[in-house]
């Protein structure tokens, strides 16, 4: 995998299988996330030119594999970034699931390796391992899984995983299996990424913190003779002006009270995820000073676990911030916004045209009716593009 600032980027969207709405931390403005709604979001992402969609995992979400299986047949180009859970799935079962979905989607599957950072949730899933033990399991899981994807018949006896004669009879469409994505900020996580992962993911920290983290990953990968790709997970609040974007950000958390924030922060504090600790440190559970870098807002993390920051600004400002991350070597941007259906269209309209998309040529080639032209004037003529008065 290339390990350099690429001229082109992949932009993903997000399927909100844990809930969606207009405001965070409240039922006000919430909406049902059923199959019909997920179909709308997936079809929008597919038609608007997003590279793929991330499907989250955990007890708060619908199962990512079943969701991807339901949506892949109705989309044409959209890739699905689906989670495998070492310790929750044996590697042989995960390999069979992955090869099946890769074939059924005609090679549109991507794999997100999730170790899990909430001890309480892990115990509910029957996983009673500490932080370091979970990464030992992850390493052993990937040792077996990756060999199966290469078509090997595997005998393996590790500290946690033992298989004899494991194999996958029906190969994946993608050579050596779907690419592996993975995020984690601890030393143990970075070691796993450096040795076994294709694309390392980080949550949306300020650029200087991302640069420091990626430098460590890059160095450890190089020591193993490997080069990785890099990705970042961010929310986006983009409007025609910076003032409108900042107002939308404030509106998003407009129904939050201090008790709701305190409840969420208490849950985050019990986690042993280094990445979650870094996210929480950005805002410290307070509404004060939520802009932690130019156009980078930490308000989402007041009540949402995992990715807790958003790029907030005009299209030109958000595009410039994305280019700053790109200069650090980030080529995969996993974006989202509330509500996810409307914001997919807004981001595609305002932001994507300003970005160097790797799949941009495909997007232009699919344009219908010679391009977007707005509503026909008087049922007789198409409006012409107006030039700026400035």
Task: Answer yes or no: is 211 within a domain.
Answer: yes
Least confident of 87-101, 107-121, 217-231, 258-272: 258-272
Rounded-to-integer distance, Cα 186 and Cα 170, Å: 35
State phi, psi for 53 to the nearest 5 degrees.
-135, 140
Residue 49 is predicted with a pLDDT of 95
Residue 372 is predicted with a pLDDT of 58
Task: Answer yes or no: is 277 within a domain.
Answer: no
Q: Which domain holds residue 217?
A: 10-235+327-354
Residue 22 is predicted with a pLDDT of 95
Task: Answer yes or no: is 319 within a domain.
Answer: no
Q: At residue 1, does pLDDT exceed 50? A: no
Residue 125 is predicted with a pLDDT of 80
Q: What is the pLDDT of residues 212-268, one digit of tens each?
A: 999 999 999 999 999 999 999 999 999 999 999 999 999 999 998 888 888 888 888
Q: At residue 362, does pLDDT exceed 70? A: no
Phi-psi region of 369 (alpha: psi -120 to 50; beta: other; left: phi over 0): left
pLDDT top residue among 191 and 265: 191
Q: What is the pLDDT of residues 19-42, one digit of tens each?
A: 999 999 899 999 999 999 999 999
Percent of the chain with pLDDT over 90: 72
Q: At residue 86, does pLDDT exceed 60? A: yes
In the structure, what pLDDT confidence band is assigned to residue 376 with cuts at 50, 70 and 90?
Answer: low
Rounded to 10°, the helix 207-223/187-196 angle is 50
Nearest to 98 by CA among 106, 109, 88, 89: 109
Rounded-to-integer distance, Cα 98 and Cα 104, Å: 10
Residue 365 is predicted with a pLDDT of 46
Mean pLDDT for all residues in the chain: 91
Residue 387 is predicted with a pLDDT of 54
| Rg of the chain, C-alpha, whole Å | 21
Q: Per mean pLDDT, which of 108-117, 287-296, 330-339 is the most reliable? A: 330-339
Owner of token pair 């179909």: 39
The mean pLDDT of 65-83, rounded to a whole number, is: 98
The mean pLDDT of 88-92, rounded to a whole number, is: 94
Rounded-to-integer distance, Cα 237 and Cα 350, Å: 11
**Residues pairing with 231 in the sheet:** 201, 332
In the structure, what pLDDT confidence band is assigned to residue 2 with cuts at 50, 70 and 90?
Answer: very low
Task: Answer yes or no: is 284 within a domain.
Answer: no
| CA atoms lying within 13 Å on the CB side of residue 350 | 22
Task: Answer yes or no: is 226 within a domain.
Answer: yes
**DSSP 3-state assignment of 41?**
helix
- CATH code where residue 170 lies: 3.20.20.30
Q: At residue 390, does pLDDT exceed 60? A: no
Residues in the chain: 390
Q: What is the pLDDT of residues 121-158, one digit of tens each?
A: 888 888 888 888 999 999 999 999 999 999 999 999 99
Residue 19 is predicted with a pLDDT of 93
The pairing of strands 229-238 and 291-293 is: unpaired
Count the domains in the chain: 1
Residue 156 is predicted with a pLDDT of 98
Residue 333 is predicted with a pLDDT of 98
Q: At residue 3, does pLDDT exceed 70? A: no
Task: Answer yes or no: is 312 within a domain.
Answer: no
The mean pLDDT of 353-366, rounded to a whole number, is: 71
Task: Answer yes or no: is 253 within a domain.
Answer: no
In the structure, what pLDDT confidence band is assigned to residue 370 with cuts at 50, 70 and 90?
Answer: low
Rounded-to-integer distance, Cα 9 and Cα 20, Å: 27
Percent of the chain with pLDDT over 70: 93
Task: Answer yes or no: is 273 within a domain.
Answer: no
């Amino acid at each position: 995998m290339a390990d350099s600032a690429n001229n082109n980027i992949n932009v993903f969207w997000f399927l909100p299988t844990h809930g969606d709405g207009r405001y965070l931390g409240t039922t006000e403005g919430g909406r049902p996330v059923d199959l019909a709604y997920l179909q709308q979001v997936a079809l929008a992402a597919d038609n608007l030119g997003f590279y793929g969609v991330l499907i989250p995992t955990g007890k708060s979400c619908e199962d990512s594999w079943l969701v991807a299986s339901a949506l892949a047949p109705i989309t044409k180009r959209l890739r699905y970034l689906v989670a495998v859970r070492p310790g929750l799935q044996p590697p042989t079962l995960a390999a069979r699931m992955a090869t099946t979905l890769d074939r059924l989607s005609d090679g549109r599957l991507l794999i997100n390796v999730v170790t899990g950072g909430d001890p309480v949730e892990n115990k509910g899933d029957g996983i009673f391992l500490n932080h370091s033990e979970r990464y030992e399991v992850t390493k052993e899981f990937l040792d077996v899984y990756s060999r199966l994807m290469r078509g090997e018949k595997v005998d393996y006896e590790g500290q946690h995983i033992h298989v004899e004669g494991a194999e996958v009879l029906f190969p994946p469409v993608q050579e050596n299996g779907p690419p592996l994505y993975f995020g984690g900020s601890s030393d143990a996580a970075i070691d796993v990424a450096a040795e076994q992962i294709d694309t390392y993911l980080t949550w949306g920290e300020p650029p200087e913190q991302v640069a420091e983290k990626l430098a460590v990953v890059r160095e450890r990968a190089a020591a193993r003779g490997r080069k990785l790709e890099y990705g970042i997970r961010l929310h986006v609040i983009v409007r025609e002006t910076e003032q409108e974007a900042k107002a939308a950000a404030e509106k998003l958390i407009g129904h939050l009270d201090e008790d709701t924030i305190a409840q969420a922060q208490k849950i985050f504090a019990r986690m042993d995820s280094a990445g979650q600790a870094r996210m929480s440190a950005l805002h410290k559970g307070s509404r004060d000073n939520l802009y932690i870098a130019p156009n980078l807002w930490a308000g989402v993390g007041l009540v949402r676990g995992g990715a807790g920051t958003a790029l907030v600004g005009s299209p030109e400002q958000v595009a410039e911030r994305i280019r700053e991350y790109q200069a650090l070597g980030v080529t995969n941007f996993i974006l989202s916004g509330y509500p996810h259906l409307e914001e997919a269209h807004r981001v595609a309209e305002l932001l994507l045209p300003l970005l160097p998309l790797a799949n941009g040529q495909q997007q232009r080639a699919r344009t219908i009716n010679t391009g977007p032209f707005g509503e026909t004037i008087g049922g007789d003529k198409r409006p012409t593009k107006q030039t700026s008065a400035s």
